[in-house]
Structure 1
Amino acid sequence: GIPLVEITTAPCMRTPEAVQEVAGYIGMVLRSTGRVKRGLGTIRQDINVSIAGGARVEIKGVQDLDLIAEVVRREVQRQVALLAIRDELLRRGARVDHTVVDVTALFSGTKSSILKKAKSILAVRLCGFAGLVGREIQPGRRLGSEMSDYAKKCGVGGIFHTDELPAYGVTAEEVARLREFVGAAEEDCVAIVAAGRERAGCAAEQVMIRAEMALAGVPEETRKMLDEGSSAYMRPLPGAARMYPETDVFPVVIDEPLWESITVPELLTHRAERFVREFGLDEDLARQVAFSERLPTFEAAVAAGVRPTIAARTLLATCRELARDGVAVDRVSEDEILALLSAVEANRAAKEAIPDLLTELARTAGEGAGTPQERVDAVIAKMAPAVSQADVESIVRRVVAEREAFARERGMGALGPLMGVVMQELRGSVDGKVVSETLRRELGRLLS
């Protein structure tokens, strides 16, 4: 198996884009070794974010590189919003009433499906919190969401609070009775939790704990990433007491001989530059090849004498287009693709036939036995059998003769349309360059 590797960096970065750039560079260096798995879920980025006046927050499990900058932006937004809420709470002289009130009887006739089935409904009065519990701190997230995250640790589904009520089947009359019963003033917010007595009591305590944290600003936390880049509370941020040596892996002493023996791999960025320089690929295509999962196949094809441009465009553009059209290209092995490219380079099939040949290889994958080379040979024989030069000339003469009036009218401008007709008949068995030269000669003979 491939071991799990943890890499920690602690640069001071001032923009979300800088964080994403560093994460991308780390991933590129790891992939340059050729010894790490690829794809979504194989690399997990944990991001630590703090702002002036805020706190260090660790966001776990960010798997999508393209989301890193957005995760950082949203965490900064959250901390800025929490600091603003703290300042407003302090200005109001807000406090948390630690008296937990049983309000189960108030909702005996409620139409709320959640409250109706609860054995116990408990309320907490948050003095001076009105309007702030429902204030958005991230897209789709409010201070009330943070309190709900804490409450969920007790096994409840979440909380209700008067900043969002009436709603969820709770009526305005029920909200008014609730506020009166717990003695809430206009500037107060009331949070309620509904569950069994023990769970509801635990959840109410957690709501009060998180409300007290709001008076202090931003708590240090470990959070999990949500869809699109927001985050939710997981657990308190561990302190130094939880940092201990790895007990299952012995230390590796890196002495001078070991250090000098390490072969530094060619970075993918440098490899892309080499592909431009040595193979004449354009910069965009070279970078796509260098960072592709099919890089080993590309390099094997070029080493076998396949033209780099044909190898690159087949592995990237052609395979991607076929997959988009519903062809299961992933069923074609890398060895079969390599054998197909070699056959094209040896003029046993035309490059124009590659899409059809790949489609047939994908369709017949798993049928019968045979080596990759034998499978490719069979598909070529079926889909694009070899055609001699004499056969090509015969077909070209016939096509031109059948369309003589069109050819005389258009002159050499008829080359393109007639080329399509000939290639369709040949089904990609002959390289387009050969067909074009033959057709050009025949048109020249006719027109002269």
Structure 2
Amino acid sequence: MTTNNQIANRKSINYEAVNFRCGIEIHQQLEGKKLFCPCPTIIRKDEPHFTIVRRLRASAGESGAVDAAASFEQAKQKTFLYQGYQDTTCLVELDEEPIHPINREVLITALQVAKLLSCTIIPSLQVMRKVVVDGSNVSGFQRTILVGVNGTLNVDGATITIPTVCLEEEACQVVERTKEQDTYNLSRLGIPLIEIATGPDITSPEQCQIVAAKLGMILRSTGACKRGIGSIRQDINVSTKNHPRVEIKGFQDLRSIPAILAFEIQRQQDAVAKKENLASHVRKAEPDMTTSYLRPMPGADRMYPETDHPPIEVNHDDVLIPRLLDDIAEELKTKYGIPPDLVKDIINKNLPFEEYVKTYNAVDPKLIAAIIVKNPKELRRKLGLEYNVHRHAPALLSRLQSRTITPSSVMEIQERQARGEAIHWSLYEPISEAAIEGTVKRVMQENPNAPIGALMGIIMKELRGKADGKTVMELLKKHKT
């Protein structure tokens, strides 16, 4: 949690005076199949079917030198245990079989992202091996592909350069760490991962948060991204006056970015003032908004070509660029008059609003938005009920479309659906206007001194959704005068 002191310290920092420079790397998991095998991208948490044991050694990169970060990890002399599953883990993850041809669907997604960022697409893609011997990859390396270069991102009038867009393999998931050995879950290994790297063009922690949010929006616009905790991560590179670049890993909540960067700026400047021995390195973002030392900074010495996959020729001219979610959100607000808070939920939860508007074109779009966003939130907040939009909303909307129920019955029906009750639709069939008018006259006679609002409540309760509120109000006004 950010304290008042942290906020005050952040506001007091002169970013220009400390020569603050910042770049961000976004890593986003993709849905579907894994990058180099047909295994599903399901991250398992159940009891594993088997465990294998490995020891890893650092190998030289293409330059002939061994990477400093790889040497650092090898020096720990750890044993690595890998937990696998017979039905979702194959020999590729175990490094007992060469990789299969690349997953073309996720390659197209990576090309879409590169085009959305105005990158130059690499015409012949080369799979590379990046040496990683911390145990997170069974093979001792991570496969990565440079897809696009020299892109740009516009953020509030500022141009942020995008040097690279890459497609990578996700690493194993840590289960347990001890001094002697680490245990990993194999189900995450090989999940496709898009990496977007910006240049050092970000000039404040607040701008960094905005850039991260916009890149996340662009990634989600493809419709191919995984959602949930851990599906997207941010690594942030920071340097200040007289201090070399530091990479901070482990950001998951964008709201923590400004506070952690403010801490890191102060830490770097304190280290400079104390004349400490300074070197580039990797740090970890901590829950208390501080950072801690992780390992030396990796370099180019850990890269070399993948020998089990040929170069990939791409024709990106046929790759369709998806609409940005920000553009869709703006259209929902202007075209249909949907309030911003409902638009945000429609976008974030990927709800089929536009599909429903087209299919049920006789239903007011604002009512559709209420049915799939507003009402489910009310049911959850007031009654603790979960409403399954995809399961229940079509039946409700089809009857609104055919006018066999009225809008005033919607909330009661949704509550019954959420409770799992069978819906007797005939109970909600609208009555004739003559019958409504008769009820209005009778209630007015029985309550001659009641204000129009009270009469409305009595009538709607009696008719139980069989009459539209607008019709009832019009009749009340007609007979009240």
- TM-score scaled to structure 2, two decimals? 0.55
AA in 2 matched with 1:222 = V
Unaligned ranges ≥5, structure 2? 1-31, 34-191
Secondary structure in structure 2 of the residue aligned to 1:266: coil
**Structure 1 residues 290 and 316: CA distance shift in structure 2, 3 A:** closer
Whether the 8 Å CA contact 1:357–1:379 is kept in 2: the answer is no
CA drift of 1:285 comes to: 5.0
Secondary structure in structure 2 of the residue aligned to 1:78: helix
Q: 2:385 aligns with which of 307, 328, 339?
A: 328
Question: CA offsets, 1:330-388, max 9 Å, x none?
Answer: 5x241422332343343333333333222221111xx7xxxxxxx6xx25446x45434
CA drift of 1:317 comes to: 2.4
Aligned pairs for 1:44-443 within 5 A: 44-84=233-273, 86-87=274-275, 215-217=276-278, 219-245=279-305, 251-254=311-314, 258-281=315-338, 284-285=340-341, 287-288=343-344, 291-295=347-351, 297-304=352-359, 305=361, 306-330=363-387, 332-364=388-420, 378=423, 380-381=425-426, 384-404=428-448, 406-407=449-450, 414-443=451-480
**Structure 1 residues 326 and 68: CA distance shift in structure 2, 3 A:** farther
Secondary structure in structure 2 of the residue aligned to 1:12: coil
| Alpha-carbon distance between aligned partners in 2 of 1:248 and 1:326, rounded to the nearest angstrom | 56
| Alpha-carbon distance between aligned partners in 2 of 1:429 and 1:39, rounded to the nearest angstrom | 41
| Alpha-carbon distance between aligned partners in 1 of 2:393 and 2:308, rounded to the nearest angstrom | 42
- Which one has a bigger Cα radius of gyration? 1
Which structure carries more helix by proportion? Answer: 1
Secondary structure in structure 1 of the residue aligned to 2:225: coil
How many aligned positions are there? 290
AA in 1 matched with 2:468 = D
CA RMSD of aligned residues (A): 2.7
| Alpha-carbon distance between aligned partners in 2 of 1:13 and 1:34, rounded to the nearest angstrom | 27
Q: Give aligned-pair identity as a percent.
A: 37
CA drift of 1:238 comes to: 1.8
Unaligned ranges ≥5, structure 1? 88-214, 368-374, 408-413
| Alpha-carbon distance between aligned partners in 2 of 1:40 and 1:15, rounded to the nearest angstrom | 26
Question: Residue in 2 aligned with 1:34?
Answer: 223
Whether the 8 Å CA contact 2:406–2:430 is kept in 1: the answer is no
Whether the 8 Å CA contact 2:346–2:353 is kept in 1: the answer is no
| Alpha-carbon distance between aligned partners in 2 of 1:68 and 1:250, rounded to the nearest angstrom | 40
Whether the 8 Å CA contact 1:29–1:268 is kept in 2: the answer is yes
| Alpha-carbon distance between aligned partners in 1 of 2:345 and 2:307, rounded to the nearest angstrom | 40
AA in 2 matched with 1:339 = A
CA drift of 1:253 comes to: 2.7
Whether the 8 Å CA contact 2:342–2:374 is kept in 1: the answer is no
| Alpha-carbon distance between aligned partners in 2 of 1:358 and 1:245, rounded to the nearest angstrom | 57
CA drift of 1:303 comes to: 0.7
AA in 2 matched with 1:23 = A
State the structure with bigger RCO (CA 8 A, min sep 6), 1 or 2: 2
CA drift of 1:312 comes to: 2.1
Whether the 8 Å CA contact 2:332–2:338 is kept in 1: the answer is yes
CA drift of 1:263 comes to: 0.9
| Alpha-carbon distance between aligned partners in 2 of 1:248 and 1:229, rounded to the nearest angstrom | 42
Whether the 8 Å CA contact 2:217–2:324 is kept in 1: the answer is yes
